[in-house]
Structures are given as structure tokens and as C-alpha cells.
Amino acid sequence: MTAEKIVQKDELIAILEPRVRAGKRVVFTNGCFDLLHVGHVRYLASARACGDLLVVGLNSDRSVRTIKGPTRPLVPQDQRAEVLAALACVDFVVIFEEPDPGALIEAILPQVLVKGADWPEDRIIGARAVRGAGGTVVRVPVVPGAATSTIIERILQLSKEPATDD
């Protein structure tokens, strides 16, 4: 079942087209989703609540390295895609190679584009295209302290502490 949710861009466009004609509201969001955590889960659930179908654009491994540096991602793209696809709130996952999802958003033209509230509205990639097509942009709250980089830092700190005999 989860494998059916992971699609290529052209396949996604073909899948969405009849659903949009039937009145379904497509929501799009994107990210690296390197280590899935509560912030991601709440964010994706909030995004899904904005429409009928949630499409998640997933940064490829190469794209993540461009954005986050040579030590990321920790989890390969195929595994990250499978974990996202396993979530009930996610309808489709599409991996993109570019550093940003601009071209993908323009190809899909969702009715709703969702990003975290930590993104200033004027810096949300794809917002202009979505609004130009009559759609909306929604910024959802982020969970304080719930970030992949925070989890990584905690693991690194714990790895430096002496082991205990518990």
C-alpha cells in the first residue's frame, strides 16, 4: 500500500488531474523529513486538514546535501519516502532533485500550499504560483524544540557522556 503512494512527478499529475476535476482540494507541502519526529507528524496532520489530498514533496538525498551539508541526510530518500507514505494523513510522496520545490509546485499547482510558520510568507517558494492560480498559502505552527537538528545535537551530546551500568 505505501509503495503505491510513492510516485514520480508525471504520474502524480496524471493521478491528481481527474480528482481535481471532481472537486478534490489538493494540499502540497515539502521537506527533508530526515528523522521523522512529533513536529513533522503534527505538521503533516495540520497540512492534511487543509484539503482532501496531501502531497508531500520530499527532497532527494542530493538535494538534502545541498541544503543541509555533506553529513545529511541520515536516512536515505527511499526510506524517508516509505516512512512518510506509511502515515495515514499522507496521500502521495514525490521525490524531487532540485534544492527547492518551485518547479514541482508549478507543475502540480495545488489549491493549498502549506509551510511551517517559521517560514516568512514572502520566502515561501511556490506561493506566488499557487496564489496566481487561485489557491491559498497556509502557515502552520511549529512544535518548539522538535527539530531534526535538535535530535542530532542531543544524540551527539549523549554519545560524549560516560556510559552507565543501568
Note the pLDDT tens digit of each residue in 134-143.
999 999 988 7
How far is it, in rounded angstroms, from Cα 131 to Cα 110?
A: 10
Tell me which residue of 58, 71, 63 sits closest to 7, measured CA to CA: 58
Beta-carbon contacts of 85 under 8 Å, excluding residues fewer than 6 positions away, are: 2, 3, 5, 6, 93
* DSSP secondary structure letters along 52-74: SEEEEEEE-HHHHHHHH-TT--S
Domain ranges of the chain: 2-160
Query: Using one digit for the tens of pLDDT, what is the confidence trace for 102-150?
Result: 999 999 999 999 999 988 989 999 999 999 999 999 999 887 776 777 7
Helix spans in 22-163 (H)? 38-48, 61-68, 77-85, 102-108, 127-132, 148-160
Q: What are the φ/ψ torsions at residue 131 (nearest 5 degrees)?
A: -65, -40
Query: Using one digit for the tens of pLDDT, what is the confidence trace for 6-34?
Result: 999 999 999 999 999 999 999 999 999 99
Arithmetic mean of pLDDT over the chain: 93
The pLDDT of residue 156 is above 90:
no
Task: Compute the C-alpha angle 6/35/63, nearest 5°.
Answer: 60
* CATH architecture of structural domain 2-160: 3-Layer(aba) Sandwich (3.40)
How far is it, in rounded angstroms, from Cα 78 to Cα 112?
A: 26
The pLDDT of residue 166 is above 60:
no
- Give the type of residue at 52: D
Regarding predicted confidence, which is higher, 100 or 166?
100
DSSP strand pairing (136-140 vs 112-116): parallel
The whole-model pTM stands at: 0.90
